[in-house]
A = this chain, B = another copy of it.
């Protein structure tokens, strides 16, 4: 399916991530799109850049991997900071949003004159199934 306004490569990458339902590295995506004509990492990274900029995909910094947004219909970022709980056992990623967190951080950092642009919150641990 894939959201509107995406180019062919962007749609391919987005579909692959959405179908996977979990995080994939750029090179996993590349390997999975060989049959669709993908040959070089740049094809993946360029698509990811756009998808991340649009909030359709998130980068997991502690994993160097990418995951489809859990609710691409709403503009991600409009409902508080985006955070991820990542299970170290099964690899499942749970995306959530937390206004309190965002307010706390803004208040704390605002007092120091720091202007946040992008906030990374990733909690690594064990999910309910693996605990």
| Interface positions of A (Cβ within 8 A of B) | 61-62, 83, 85, 87-88, 94, 96, 98, 100-101, 104-105, 108-109, 112-128, 131
8 Å CB contact of A128 from B112, B128, B131: B112
Q: Flag if B96 contacts A108 (CB, 8 Å).
A: yes
List 22 interface pairs A-B (beta carbons < 8 Å), by A numbering.
A61-B62, A61-B122, A85-B109, A85-B112, A85-B116, A94-B112, A96-B108, A98-B104, A98-B108, A101-B101, A101-B104, A105-B123, A114-B123, A114-B125, A116-B124, A117-B124, A117-B125, A118-B124, A118-B125, A119-B121, A120-B120, A120-B124
Q: How many copies does the complex hold?
A: 2
A126 to B116, CA, bound (A): 7
Tell me whether A123 and B116 are in contact in the complex, defined as CB-CB below 8 angstroms, given that A85-B109, A98-B108, A105-B101 are known contacts. yes
B119–A120 CB distance below 8 A: no
- Give the distance in Å from the alpha carbon of A54 to the alpha carbon of B113 in the complex: 31
Contact of A117 among B83, B117, B126 (CB under 8 A): B126
Alpha-carbon gap, A113 to B130, bound state (A): 10
Q: Which residues of B contact A87 (CB under 8 A)?
A: 114
